[in-house]
Structure 1
């Protein structure tokens, strides 16, 4: 038995010697496994964070393009108001009032194509001569061709656009598909990648075209009056969209169709981070006027990972040395997992909110298009001539654009009443408003109220400039507001006062501007408006319920 006992002890000695080694191997293996898991979790969190930044960049690109397409539809409304046949001078005045160069970066201009048959060359060449004073034949010349679509109008006109007059766009296969689609069906239709600047000496730019059919309102069954189109320079358009503050740490590549080198339409000047370019690549698809684009995003050097990879590696090394680090590593792993899960949930929520925001933005853009079309028709019906229409419509469109810009800066949540008033008054009276013109407490208003009040203040300021002392450089304009009530029943009471040297009386007939103001206040906002014409001038009292606005903001 003693011998057997001794043999048993001897047999157990190697096990005791191997136990520390086994513990070391176990701790080392557990440490390496946990450290590796933490490392990959941090990398996944980084990918989720960058995907959110990429979606933000995609939303900026989509919003910028939608804004430019809105301008094309406004031009379509202008052509409809002129029954599809404005003169070259009328079109030039309209486009010059849009201030394309300063407001719509990336938009090269707006033009018109005429659908021509084999016997229409002389008439179209005469039309170009009448509008632009140049002799230009339709080119390239192709005898026997049944249909051609030459350029007959383009604004803003310059050396390059004049050189392109008469160009038959239907002769180019890159444009033909989109032109056929525009002729057959209403709505916007985009081309693939095209090259601009080939008709004149100078640089060549990559870009794309968007076509929109112009029908004859009085002859719906007849062929279209023409094809309206907008030309976009890709580099300027995307740079303007991505150049908004705050700058995003993304490198962007836009492809026409599949992501292939020959389909490249735009590439960011900021290079990607070579360490993260492949692991954090995000690919999205964007549909622009029926044309699919592939957009690829890669992190730049400015992108910061949520967690440094050095941390899990260091924890793994500590686990190899100290057995007690097992509990620490387990607790750190639990915390890292919780942090990653929290970040993932927050990111998924953010992505969902961004998707809802994009859907809401599309809905608002459609509403804005409808409002612009209605405003164009109403302004045209109340205008005596094209000059009056162009001035009134451009001013009202600029007022809408100013309200849209304020809402965009606040992500369509709210705007400041005083800032909105100052913006609209400075557009009419200039940048230097006298001290004391505006007075009142801070008031935040929602998106429908901002748009409605933006047009209202523009119409009031325009009337003050035309008929009041403010238009004769004598001042006399005061705008005051205050809050009335408390809790959920607050209202904004705004008083617009204009001094006048001569007594004012109630007009015999309400203008379109007056009707627009009343509709915005009473129907759009559910408020009330009263005007008092007296010996000392005009006073307009406006009351708007604020409780409704707060409810709308809370639902967002």
Structure 2
């Protein structure tokens, strides 16, 4: 009666129970379900129900248990169409009423979902490691470039903190989107609005609904930060009535489609073309375009700074081609 109740309880789980004789022929299988033991019949061996590699592994483990008289545990992978199913198999010697070894007794429990979660976690950890290394490389570059163009330690700290904060804001958007990236409009608002005295009333944004890749998000965010700081310090955002127009549109070239991002300042102080290049220039013209695999241009026009950045289609995902405006 007890054995019957145990078997009934096992029947409500994904566990299979089996027994084999000393020649490793199956004596019985309980709750085989749709597992690898589903087709096992009395008198069959592993070679009759498993493929070559799986059969060899299972048989070898069971023979070792019979030899050593010690229990064993192993994982068994079974090809199922284009997928692979995994099982946690535990085996021990089976003894008759006289205590003599008469074969193998074992259980099999499917762990496919667990293996998938483990693989997903490993993939995420590898991705996290990769992104962490990239982020550290960006920070190292920021520190080096900021120090190169800073005269005093306080000046360095102010600039460096601002750039690290910019990376942090962009990273927050990427993380909130489950590492998908950042939508362009959110990135613009996050990086630019706080530098405009009148908020987004001074900023005109016209762009399609796109998600930038994580790499593009960090670097485009950094470019927007540099442009906003420049505009707030001695550009269009430093005077009443100054305006910044940020537009993005798709364009087709010989290399395929890309996204053209344009920053244009208006009604600001007259820009002097002979102004000394600073770190922002290196970021905008070299670091950012190199990181996204695109091209950039920075013009000191009398009416205000104009910056263009070409972003290849590999660095963004189109949600809608319709233009979204924000003012």
TM-score over 0.5 for the pair: yes
- Work out which of the residue numbers 360, 364, 367 in structure 1 matches 2:127: 360
Q: Which has the higher contact order (CA 8 A, sep 6+)?
A: 1
Counterparts of 1:434 and 1:453, CA distance in 2 = 22
Shift of 1:480: 1.0
1:382 to 2:111 alignment: no
Change (3 A) 1:528 1:395: same
Residue 296 (structure 1) aligns with: none
Residue 156 (structure 1) aligns with: none
After the TM superposition, which residues 215-294 of structure 1 pair with which residues of structure 2 at under 5 Å, given as runs? Answer: none
1:523 to 2:290 alignment: yes
Shift of 1:29: 7.9
TM-score with structure 1 setting the length = 0.37
State the Cα RMSD in Å.
2.9
Counterparts of 2:307 and 2:277, CA distance in 1 = 15
- Work out which of the residue numbers 36, 43, 49 in structure 1 matches 2:9: 36
1:451 to 2:218 alignment: yes
Shift of 1:547: 3.1
1:416 to 2:183 alignment: yes
SS at match of 1:442: strand
Shift of 1:473: 3.5
1:460-517 Cα offsets, whole Å, 9 max, x none, are 101111111312232311111112249x932111111111354424234321111111
Query: Does the aligned pair in 2 maintain the 1:424–1:457 contact within 8 Å?
Result: yes
Residue 497 (structure 1) aligns with: 264
Shift of 1:380: 1.7
SS at match of 1:504: coil
Q: Which range moves more in the overlay, 412-421 or 347-356?
A: 347-356
TM-score with structure 2 setting the length = 0.60
1:349 to 2:109 alignment: no
Counterparts of 1:369 and 1:38, CA distance in 2 = 53
1:433 to 2:200 alignment: yes
Shift of 1:419: 0.8
Query: Does the aligned pair in 2 maintain the 1:491–1:545 contact within 8 Å?
Result: yes
Counterparts of 1:520 and 1:542, CA distance in 2 = 12
Change (3 A) 1:407 1:528: same
Counterparts of 1:473 and 1:435, CA distance in 2 = 9
Counterparts of 1:38 and 1:525, CA distance in 2 = 56
Gap regions ≥5 residues in structure 1: 1-24, 43-336, 551-556
- Work out which of the residue numbers 452, 463, 472 in structure 1 matches 2:230: 463
SS at match of 1:434: helix
SS at match of 1:529: strand
1:382-402 Cα offsets, whole Å, 9 max, x none, are 111122111100000001111
Query: Does the aligned pair in 2 maintain the 1:453–1:520 contact within 8 Å?
Result: no
Gap regions ≥5 residues in structure 2: 16-107, 318-327
Change (3 A) 1:377 1:441: same
Shift of 1:37: 1.8
Query: Does the aligned pair in 2 maintain the 1:489–1:547 contact within 8 Å?
Result: no
Change (3 A) 1:451 1:495: same
Count residues in correspondence: 224
Counterparts of 1:503 and 1:431, CA distance in 2 = 21
1:539 to 2:306 alignment: yes
Query: Does the aligned pair in 2 maintain the 1:420–1:450 contact within 8 Å?
Result: yes
Residue 152 (structure 1) aligns with: none
Shift of 1:447: 1.3
Shift of 1:425: 0.9
Identify, as 1 or 2, the structure richer in strand: 2
Query: Does the aligned pair in 1 maintain the 2:150–2:156 contact within 8 Å?
Result: yes
1:25-46 Cα offsets, whole Å, 9 max, x none, are 9xx987x55641244449xxxx
